[in-house]
Amino acid sequence: MKSFKKELWFNTTNRRELINITSLVEQCLNESGITEGLLLCNAMHITSSIFINDDESGLHNDFEVWLEKLAPEKPYSQYRHNGYEDNADAHLKRTVMGREVVVAVTDGRLDFGPWERIFYGEFDGKRKKRVLVKIIGE
C-alpha cells in the first residue's frame, strides 16, 4: 500500500470565499503516483469546508445568500461563542457545507462525474489556513 500526504495553504482576501481547488488536488494525485485507491481532502480548520459542487458563479452567490439565511454572521451577540471571537457563524456555515470529501481514484484519475469540482469554502478568512490531501492505494 502506498500513502501520500500534502498540505495546501490558503489566505483569502475576504471573510468568505469559495475557491476551486480541483487542479491542486489533481496535482497531488499525480505526485503521489497512486492509480487505484481513495483520496481524502479535508479542511484542517473548523471554520472552513471542503465540498464538491458546480463551478458556476450564480450558484456560488446562491450559497452565500442561503448560508447567511441559515446561519447569519450578524448580530455577533446572537452567538455565545462570540466572546473573544466573532466567527460562530463560520462554524455553523462550515457544518452545513461539510469538512471533507472522499474521492475514488481510478486509473490514476479522480473518478468524477461530469460537473464535480472540489471547492475550498472559507467562512472566516483573511489569515493563513490549511487543507489536507491524503491518498492511500497503489
- Residue 36's closest CA among 87, 2, 77? 2
Q: What residues from 29 to 68 belong to the interface with a second copy (CB under 8 A)?
A: 36-38, 40, 42-46, 51-54, 56-59, 61-63, 66
The residue type at 29: L
From candidates 8, 19, 24, 96, binder to a second copy by CB under 8 A: 96
Sign, Cα dihedral of 24, 42, 63, 54: positive
Looking only at the bridges linking them, the beta strands covering 129-137 and 48-53 are unpaired
**Minimum distance of a second copy from residue 30's CB (angstroms):** 18
- Residue 53's closest CA among 112, 10, 104? 112
From candidates 11, 20, 95, 127, binder to a second copy by CB under 8 A: 95
**Minimum distance of a second copy from residue 4's CB (angstroms):** 10
**Minimum distance of a second copy from residue 14's CB (angstroms):** 18
Q: Classify residue 99 by burial, with Cβ atoms within 10 Å: 0-12, 13-18, 19+.
A: middle
**Minimum distance of a second copy from residue 132's CB (angstroms):** 6
Query: Edge-to-edge strand order for the sheet containing 2-10?
Result: 2-10, 129-137, 37-43, 100-106, 109-110
Q: What residues from 107 to 136 belong to the interface with a second copy (CB under 8 A)?
A: 111-116, 130, 132, 134, 136
Residues of this chain that bind a second copy (CB under 8 A): 1, 3, 5, 36-38, 40, 42-46, 51-54, 56-59, 61-63, 66, 70-71, 79-83, 88, 91-92, 94-104, 106, 111-116, 130, 132, 134, 136-138
